[in-house]
Amino acid sequence: MKRSFKQLFVGLLVLTLMVSIFPGKSAQAEENDFLNINAKAAILIEFSTGKIIYQKNVDEALPVASMTKMMTEYLLLEAIEDGKLDWSKEVILSDYAQSVSQKYPELSNVPMRKQEPYTIKELYEAMAIYSANGATIALAEAIAGSETKFVEMMNAKAEEIGLENYNFVNSTGLNNEDLVVGGVPMYPEGTAADAETTLSAKDTARLAHRLLTDYPEILETASIPFKVFREGTPDAIDMPNWNKMLFTEELKVQFEGIDGLKTGSTDAAGFNFTGTAERDGMRVISVVMNTTNDEGVSTEISRFIETKKLMTHAFGSYSVQELFPGEYQIEGESILPVTKGKEDKVEIHTKEPFKTLVKDGNKDNFKPQFEINEKILNEEGELTAPIKEGDSVGVMKVTQEGGQDYGYLFENEGASVELVTKEGVEKANWFVLSMRAVGGFFSDLWSTVAGAIKGLF
């Protein structure tokens, strides 16, 4: 069917208007990138609330390189906690782990010997500080028996903790092409020859958040700027932390309060960094992936420069504040009717103070609202006695009016605090209930009679 010039012109005009009114994701991302972060993906959150301060392309799964090791660290610390391993346990490296460790300086490694015992603590420090790949494989094998089984554990744990866009293919974050020894593929079974672990920026932040929540002791090791592996032996090797924000003042990336967490770089991933820092009681987590400098060039230092931008913004513009105290009540919303009780009503209030992340100058933009759990009310909207002091009846939700709101790191998080009863209400005895029923009957009867008489006149 041929179209007239007029039809084509109108169609083009409509399309132009739609594009201008509903811009694509890339246009929106550029518009919201108020910090001008030179990275393919990035995210910044406040730790205690999970509140997202900044985000850019956070849902696309990208290669994460050695940031993969955060999952290996999690599973190791979990095994230590469960008593399956202890720090002093000695292991003999497999030919695979030992051979990978000899790929130095081609890969980040501490070269290790065959038939030489190494403690779990030594291997852990080499992984957490120096991102040593052979040591990481040795730990995976110590935990699961083989790296193949360990990868199964990694993906199962990712699902358990609520990650969404992920695929773990090995314990290190290397491309599987690097895990070929003497021409023999050694990478985990069921993974492709050129595969590499991928995570979204949001899931990388979720993994870091869970690691810090469950095992905050990771920071004791991740914050060590320099250590010598096997100090005092012929195998001694320097292990400067790849996180240059801990100590590199001359490159202007050193940052007060930073104490972790994990770097990563491969050809596919570019330069990545998951950082965390704490100042004045507030901790933030940032993730930058595939960073470049202002000229668009990918350099090792670019990941720290972009991280510094994020953290400077967080600590310079935000604070965690208590907006509403514990036992807070809203006038006109803090009394619930009660049936079958000695009293016919009960007061409610918040169980705990409400704290949240607040941008400077925006404290008055937060508005509270009580939301009662309808499932605990009868058809008349009443609570049924007996009621205990402190019984949960709902939540107080707090909404922010105005300003950019990126939500929370985890879907089940939100700006709310539990609502509870202020006091208990005992159930009335049978006599009182009977008298109320009789009183109610005569009250209804009188209303009916009164209505009929009124109708006669």
Do 300 and 308 meet the contact criterion of CB atoms below 8 Å apart? no
Do 39 and 56 meet the contact criterion of CB atoms below 8 Å apart? yes
Neighbours of 278 (CB within 10 A): 16
**Helix pair angle (147-160, 69-81), 10° resolution:** 90
Angle (nearest 5°) at CA 144 between 142 and 147:
90
Q: Is 131 a catalytic residue?
A: yes
Q: What SS3 state is found at 33?
A: coil
Choose the catalytic residue: 66, 94, 200, 286: 66
Question: Phi and psi of 211, rounded to 5°?
Answer: -60, -45
Question: Phi and psi of 449, rounded to 5°?
Answer: -65, -45
Q: How many CA atoms lie within 13 A of 354 on its CB side?
A: 25
Which residue do the tokens 């799964």 mark? 61
d(CA 220, CA 273): 18
Angle (nearest 5°) at CA 302 between 296 and 305:
120
Which residue do the tokens 């967490």 mark? 261
Which tokens is 165 given?
């866009």
d(CA 136, CA 138): 5
* H or E stretch at 27: helix 25-32
51 annotated as belonging to a binding site for a ligand: no
Which tokens is 14 given?
């409509």
Choose the catalytic residue: 131, 171, 265, 286: 131
Q: What SS3 state is found at 208?
A: helix
Do 293 and 305 meet the contact criterion of CB atoms below 8 Å apart? yes
Q: Is 66 a catalytic residue?
A: yes
d(CA 209, CA 360): 24
Known binding residues for substrate: 262
- What residues are annotated to the active site? 66, 69, 131
Known binding residues: 262
